[in-house]
Amino acid sequence: MSRAWRAAMLAALLAVLVVALTPYVWIILTSFKSRLDALADHPVWLFTPTFAHYPKVFIDKQYLPLVWNSALVASSSTVLSLVVGAPAAYVFARNDFAGKEDLFFFFLTTRMAPPISVVVPMFLLFTAVGLTDRPAAVIIAHTSFNLSLVVWMMRGFFADIPREIDEAALMDGHGRLGAFARVLLPLAAPGLAATAILCFILSWNEFLYAFILVAFESRTLTVGIPGLVTPHGTLWGQVAAVAVVATLPIVIFTMAVQRHLVRGLTFGAVKG
Amino acid sequence: MRAGGARLGAFVDRQLSVLFVAPAFVVLLIILVGPFGYMMWTAFTDLSFALPGHDGNFVGFANFRRLMHDSFFWDSFFLTLRFVVAAVSIEFLLGFAVALLIYHQVTRRRLVLTALLVPMMLAPVAVGLIWKLLLQGDFGMLTYYLRAAGLLGTDQAVLSDAPLVFPAIIAIDVWEWTPFVVLVLLAGLMSLPREPFEAAVMDGANRYQVFRDVTLPLLRPIVALVVLLRSIDAFKEFDKVFILTGGGPGTTTELLSIYTYRMNFKDWDLGYGAACAFMVYLVVLILCAVFHKAVFWQEGRVSAPAPEPVAVTA
Amino acid sequence: MRKHQTSTQVRYRRWGTAGGLALAMTLGASQAGAWNLEDAAAPYRGATIRTIGESLPPLEALAKLKGKFEKMTGITVEVEMYEHSEAVNKVMLDLNSRRGRYDFIIQPHRELGRFVENGHLVSIKKFMDDPKLRDPSFQPEKVLYPRLWKEISWYKGKMYGFPFTALNMFTWYRKDLLANPVEKAGFRARYGYDLGPPQTLDQYRDLAEWFTRPGKGFYGTAIQGKRHEALWYEWLNFLYAYGGDMMKTASGSECGPIIVNSPEAIAATEYYKGLMKFSPPDTLNYFWDDVMALMQQGKVFELIMWDDATYAVAVDRNVSKVVGKMGFAPTPLGPAKKRVGQVEGWTYLIPKYSRNQEAAFLFIQWMMAFDQQLEQHLNGGASARPDVYADSRVQALPYSKAAMESNEAAIAKPTIPASPQLTDILVRELSSYLAGSKSAKAALDTAAVEMHDLLGDCAPLEYPVP
């Protein structure tokens, strides 16, 4: 019974994995297909690959700088969110004061504002201060939603660390600032890593703010994707190529750091 | 160990806490409250980039009165509500099942999880395009196999068929975000303390009872967290649905975000669009407040309070 | 010349006369200001002007041509290319924030009313009247299709720019299939007249029916049924052919009685839906992009499509399987029995906030010259100059004749500020009708009422809805 059950469960898991991965595999394959193969009546799994789409998009259409733009925006907003958010999260974790939960909930609510409506006022305000068209505009905009994520998640991670550790650090002669910087932060590192990973992904993948707030030269890969859906035929090969390059870094990045992601989320720091 | 829920006092001293919290608060105040406050104000004006003379004059509640009678808005609202409820429920149930499966049956958990995470790592814009390619009526791979399996008529295509397209976008959302649910729930499962389980087993509880009386209560905060996060995000769903259907055919997939997009970026009726956004925000706010109170955020993160003793069978 | 002068004297006199004449001409020329681009652009040498448009062949052609201008004038031209709605959004935001990022813009003519009435544009007449900037050899009133220029780039009697493209829709069909004797015999037997290009809407329908063979993956036609403005454009062809229109006005910049729910309009809309059964199953998911791909793949017999997409179907072997098999004709005649076409185009415009207006004007003027227009047209553009169409190289393209006829019969569309909203209303209602959720009359009535609510008294309902 148990054997059959286990086999069935594993088969189910395999099915789930196939469903999860096949669409992505398909777009990767499509990026190497000629137009005729891509638009064929029957799905084509075996074909002679063409590598023409990638240079056409990245060199002819000059999409290569967009990779750098995406990396710049994502890493900057992640770093900014962590630097600003982690200390605040620490205070929420350790202190108690009137209106704390309400203030915390306020941080939460900032995530709820529909970007569609906030983006136009944001654009107008950024223009008024002359920030539009610079990557800084998008970085700040992304920080606006990543910050709440950081505060929310890091509060839990910090609270997870027993207060005895803080007290011990103080007794060891660290100031409160030092206790935070030299003792707490390293202990919360897995949590920080997990949060950083999620922030990076969200920022890299974001479309609306990146499109509206930034100039042509500074646009990110995600913004570049719809640009290939033209009235002269969606160039599926090229669209696939951009989609692959836009997503592959994140996929590889996450696979490389998944250990930290899972560890961080399991609050593995102090689990017995 | 830790005293759960006891007063913490001012552990971090006043000045330092201000120093720590202030930047975050200020940043949020400027970025979000600034544009957000401006948007709120706009909801009470007639601001339109398209119509001349509509420069942002105060009009009181006119936009909201119009909203009350706007059947397209309310259709969109309830459509979005159905979308959120359906998608999040399925994501939760499926995600939970898969998380349990991985937890109990798989040793190389992280490997499996990483593969599973791929859908959620893709930019939603890319997800929209990928599924557009798969469901295309003439050369879509999935269309072909659905027809071969008899699930789809040869004269049907998913994205053009009014009864099929709404379930389709729910299914695609499930595909994209269930991995997230799996991630959080699996992490939660892996971080549960052992003692309550050992105690329950020693007390003779069977697997079902353990699950019901130990696992579920312990996981309750995490479950609430993930359902809450997904619900908020599902309400704002835009990128992939817009690329896939544009809100059509007709208005069968016109989610609130798409409706607001048309208001803001096609009609450029920013005052009205702001009023719509205000309504959405209000609804999400209320839902979250309810959730937040219902699942009290425990000090000491998303672990459980000390579990109730499991029923002792003599 | 005097008689009896020595030859030497005569020679010197000739030289003197010739030299004197030459000198006089040079002096006279600079005094009379014989215009040339280099001199006109001299004060702006070193400036950079930036523009934005849709990333399609016409703009790509401009990007290739601009090098010549840059060399002649020392003015750098930067071109931003975006997808259609992104190009429109970016400009709207730029203009409304008064940022002045773009020194000139290229926008769909439908947006013109919005820009003008919100005070964002400079009339191009200002520069046309300036002898320092105006090239006397450029006479738009003589060299452009007058009605197209008026509808695409003028608003309420004032000129704001020149057409970047003058687009139109007409019939595409597979002429190779029409030559097939088996098809000919079968068609004649079934319908009682000879197989030939669709000249009337009835024939269009019959041909679509005849060529619909789902078993072979071939369809008579394909409608652009997605909830997208492509739907509206395509529907307009049938609306016009039935004698209908959106509003009763003399020009696009006017507001007039709404006739979108007239009996002709309803009939046209029902005819349009009738084509769905001769279209592939995914037809409600198609916009211009998809139907073009179908034709390129040889899966459909006839379409009503854009002239700026014809190159990719009829000429470019890299992407099309039906090169050499395509025939083109104006939109078939409907019950109104008159030739129809659409006025559609993207226009050059100069924003008020541009900091390099003169330099921008010089570039636009230069692009409108015959040489540049011809070059652009041959590379996938759609010029508004009849002399370009008359050129032998353009005449050699298979679609030129149909394009010219359609241009001459083109009907204006609204350009008033609310016009994109009108389009949106119609797209939504038509899409709902096609999806089967309401009748044609209900859809058009709803649209008419909403249009009236939006426009107010200047647009009464000609066919009131109870």
Reported ipTM: the value is 0.83
Residue type, B150: G
pLDDT at res. C27: 47
Contact status of B155 with chain C (Cβ, < 8 Å)? yes
- Phi, psi for residue C14 in degrees, rounded to 5: -60, -50
**In whole angstroms, what is the distance from residue A181 CA to residue A174 CA?**
10
Note whether C162 and C153 are within 8 A (CB): yes
> B307 pLDDT band (50/70/90 cuts)?
very low
**In whole angstroms, what is the distance from residue A109 CA to residue C361 CA?**
49
B112, B131, B301 member nearest A157 (Cβ)? B301
E strand or H helix at A263, and its extent?
Answer: helix A236-265
CA distances, A242 to each of A63, A68, B142, B253, C459 (Å): 8, 14, 21, 27, 47
Note whether A91 and B21 are within 8 A (CB): yes
**CA angle, corner A90, sides to A88 and A96, nearest 5?**
90
Q: Provide CB contacts within 8 A for C31, sequence distance 6+.
A: none
CA distance B118 to chain A (A): 6
Q: Give the tokens for residue A66.
A: 């967009």
B105–A6 C-beta distance less than 8 A: yes
A35, A41, A133 member nearest C319 (Cβ)? A35
> C159 pLDDT band (50/70/90 cuts)?
very high
Q: Look at residue B36 and tell me if it is in a domain.
A: no
Report the pLDDT averaged over residues C416-428.
91
Q: Look at residue B105 and tell me if it is in a domain.
A: yes
Residue type, C364: I
Note whether B213 and B288 are within 8 A (CB): no
Question: Which residue of B1, B13, B17, B76 to mutate against A (max A Cβ within 10 Å)?
Answer: B17
Residues of chain C whose beta carbon is less than 8 angstroms from a beta carbon of chain A are 55-57, 80-84, 86, 89, 93, 96-97, 99, 101, 217, 288-290, 292-293, 296-297, 306, 308-309, 312, 319
User: Residue B217 burial (CB < 10 Å; 0-12/13-18/19+)?
Assistant: middle
B51, B249, B266 member nearest C434 (Cβ)? B249
Torsion from C-alpha of C252, C256, C262, C266, nearest 10 degrees: 40
Residue type, A190: P
For strand C341-342 and strand C410-411, is the pairing parallel, antiparallel, or unpaired?
Answer: parallel
Alpha helices in C192-228 (DSSP H): 201-210
Question: Which residue of B94, B102, B120, B122 to mutate against A (max A Cβ within 10 Å)?
Answer: B122
Q: Look at residue B276 and tell me if it is in a domain.
A: yes
- Write down the residue that tokens 């007390």 correspond to: B203
Q: Look at residue B169 and tell me if it is in a domain.
A: yes
Question: Which residue of C98, C212, C283, C284 to mutate against B (max B Cβ within 10 Å)?
Answer: C284
CA distance B115 to chain A (A): 7
pLDDT at res. B84: 95
CATH code, domain carrying B245: 1.10.3720.10
B245–C227 C-beta distance less than 8 A: yes
> B212 pLDDT band (50/70/90 cuts)?
confident
Residue type, B129: L
**What are B215-253's pLDDT values in tens digits?**
888 888 778 878 888 888 898 899 899 888 878 777 889
The least confident of A6-10, B303-307, C166-170 is B303-307
pLDDT at res. C112: 92
DSSP letters, A194-260, are HHHHHHHHHHHH--HHHHHHS-GGG--HHHHSGGG--TT---HHHHHHHHHHHHHHHHHHHHHHHHH
Q: Look at residue B29 and tell me if it is in a domain.
A: no
Q: Look at residue B47 and tell me if it is in a domain.
A: yes
**Partners of residue B137 in chain C, C-beta under 8 Å:** 280-283, 285
Torsion from C-alpha of C40, C44, C45, C48, nearest 10 degrees: -130
A108, A144, A266 member nearest B187 (Cβ)? A266
CA distance C26 to chain A (A): 47
DSSP letters, A89-154, are HHHHHH---TTHHHHHHHHHHTTTS-HHHHHHHHHHHHHHTT-TTSHHHHHHHHHHHHHHHHHHHH
- Phi, psi for residue C105 in degrees, rounded to 5: -130, 160
Count other C-beta atoms under 10 Å from residue C463's C-beta. Answer: 17
B162–C436 C-beta distance less than 8 A: yes
For strand C48-54 and strand C76-82, is the pairing parallel, antiparallel, or unpaired?
Answer: parallel
pLDDT at res. A20: 93
Give Dmax (Cα) for chain C: 100
> C248 pLDDT band (50/70/90 cuts)?
very high
CA distance B12 to chain A (A): 6
**Average pLDDT, rounded, for chain C:** 89
**Partners of residue A15 in chain B, C-beta under 8 Å:** none
DSSP letters, B171-208, are HHHHHHHHHHHHHHHHHHHHTS-SHHHHHHHHTT--HH
Torsion from C-alpha of C113, C114, C117, C118, nearest 10 degrees: -160
pLDDT at res. A228: 67
Q: Look at residue B73 and tell me if it is in a domain.
A: yes
pLDDT, one tens digit for every residue, chain A (272 residues): 578 888 898 899 999 999 999 999 999 999 998 877 887 778 888 888 888 888 887 887 778 888 889 999 999 999 999 999 998 888 888 887 777 877 787 777 777 777 887 888 888 888 888 877 788 889 988 988 888 888 888 887 787 778 888 888 888 877 777 778 888 888 888 788 888 888 998 899 998 888 888 877 888 888 888 766 655 556 788 888 888 888 888 888 887 877 777 766 665 333 32
C57, C93, C306 member nearest A123 (Cβ)? C93
Note whether A213 and A137 are within 8 A (CB): yes
Contact status of B252 with chain C (Cβ, < 8 Å)? yes
Subunits adjacent to chain B (3 or more Cβ pairs under 8 Å): A, C
CA nearest A111: which of C262, B38, C243, B281?
B281
Q: Give the tokens for residue C301.
A: 């017999």
- In sequence order, the β-bridge partners of residue C52 are C80
**In whole angstroms, what is the distance from residue B284 CA to residue A27 CA?**
35
CA distances, C65 to each of B33, C60, C69, C374 (Å): 47, 9, 7, 11
Q: Give the tokens for residue A121.
A: 């006022």
pLDDT at res. C12: 47
DSSP letters, C49-76, are EEEEEESSHHHHHHHHHHHHHHHHH--E
- Write down the residue that tokens 């249009």 correspond to: C451
Question: Which residue of C282, C295, C297, C438 to mutate against B (max B Cβ within 10 Å)?
Answer: C282
Residues of chain A whose beta carbon is less than 8 angstroms from a beta carbon of chain C are 35, 39, 41, 120, 123-124, 127-128, 132-133, 211-212, 215-216, 226-227, 229-234
pLDDT at res. A233: 56
- C23 versus C352: the higher-pLDDT residue is C352
> C33 pLDDT band (50/70/90 cuts)?
low
The least confident of B161-165, C216-220, C339-343 is B161-165
Q: Provide CB contacts within 8 A for B300, sequence distance 6+.
A: A159, A160, B2, B4, B5
The B residues from 22 to 41 touching C (CB cutoff 8 Å) are none
CA nearest B304: which of B313, B295, B291?
B295
Q: Give the tokens for residue B15.
A: 């000045």
Count other C-beta atoms under 10 Å from residue C324's C-beta. Answer: 11
CA-nearest residue to C291 within chain B is B138
pLDDT at res. B207: 79
Q: In what side-by-side order are the strands of the sheet with C326-329?
A: C302-306, C169-174, C326-329
> C6 pLDDT band (50/70/90 cuts)?
low
CA nearest A166: which of A90, A263, A89, A88?
A90
Classify C304 as helix, strand or coil: strand
**Partners of residue A37 in chain C, C-beta under 8 Å:** none
Cα–chain center distance at C222: 22
Per-range mean pLDDT, top range of A248-252, C1-5, C225-229, C266-270: C266-270
A90, A105, A125 member nearest B38 (Cβ)? A125
C119–B138 C-beta distance less than 8 A: no
> B306 pLDDT band (50/70/90 cuts)?
very low
**Partners of residue B285 in chain A, C-beta under 8 Å:** 109, 112
> B305 pLDDT band (50/70/90 cuts)?
very low
Q: Which domain holds residue B185?
A: 43-294
Domains of chain C: 38-167+344-397 (3.40.190.10), 169-342+415-458 (3.40.190.10)
Note whether A176 and A184 are within 8 A (CB): no
Q: How many domains does chain B have?
A: 1
**In whole angstroms, what is the distance from residue C198 CA to residue C402 CA?**
13
B51–C437 C-beta distance less than 8 A: no
Domains of chain A: 60-265 (1.10.3720.10)
**Partners of residue C280 in chain B, C-beta under 8 Å:** 137-138, 157
CA nearest B302: which of A157, A109, A52, C383?
A157
Subunits adjacent to chain A (3 or more Cβ pairs under 8 Å): B, C
CA-nearest residue to C217 within chain A is A41
- Phi, psi for residue C167 in degrees, rounded to 5: -100, 160
pLDDT at res. C16: 47
A267–B191 C-beta distance less than 8 A: yes
A113–B277 C-beta distance less than 8 A: yes
CA-nearest residue to A127 within chain B is B35
CA nearest C111: which of C231, C252, C287?
C252
Note whether C122 and C351 are within 8 A (CB): yes
CA distance A242 to chain C (A): 15
A21, A91, A204 member nearest B21 (Cβ)? A91
B52–C420 C-beta distance less than 8 A: no
pLDDT at res. A230: 57
B160–C283 C-beta distance less than 8 A: yes
- Write down the residue that tokens 């990928």 correspond to: B130
**CA angle, corner A134, sides to A133 and A136, nearest 5?**
135
CA-nearest residue to C299 within chain A is A41
Count other C-beta atoms under 10 Å from residue B54's C-beta. Answer: 19
Question: Does the pLDDT value for residue B4 go beyond 70?
Answer: no
For strand C410-411 and strand C302-306, is the pairing parallel, antiparallel, or unpaired?
Answer: unpaired
CB contacts < 8 A (A, C): 57
The B residues from 264 to 303 touching C (CB cutoff 8 Å) are 265-268
**In whole angstroms, what is the distance from residue C100 CA to residue C43 CA?**
20
Residues of chain C whose beta carbon is less than 8 angstroms from a beta carbon of chain B are 85, 89, 92, 96, 114, 117-119, 214, 225-228, 280-285, 294, 297, 299, 417-418, 420-421, 424, 428, 431-432, 434-437
- In sequence order, the β-bridge partners of residue A141 are none
Q: Look at residue B85 and tell me if it is in a domain.
A: yes
Phi-psi domain of B300 (left: phi exceeds 0; alpha: psi -120 through 50; beta: other): left
Classify C155 as helix, strand or coil: strand
**In whole angstroms, what is the distance from residue B264 CA to residue B243 CA?**
17
Classify C122 as helix, strand or coil: strand
A233–C89 C-beta distance less than 8 A: no
Question: Does the pLDDT value for residue B312 go beyond 50?
Answer: no
B154, B250, B267 member nearest C435 (Cβ)? B250
Alpha helices in C279-318 (DSSP H): 288-296, 310-314
Cα–chain center distance at A63: 21
Question: Does the pLDDT value for residue B2 go beyond 80?
Answer: no
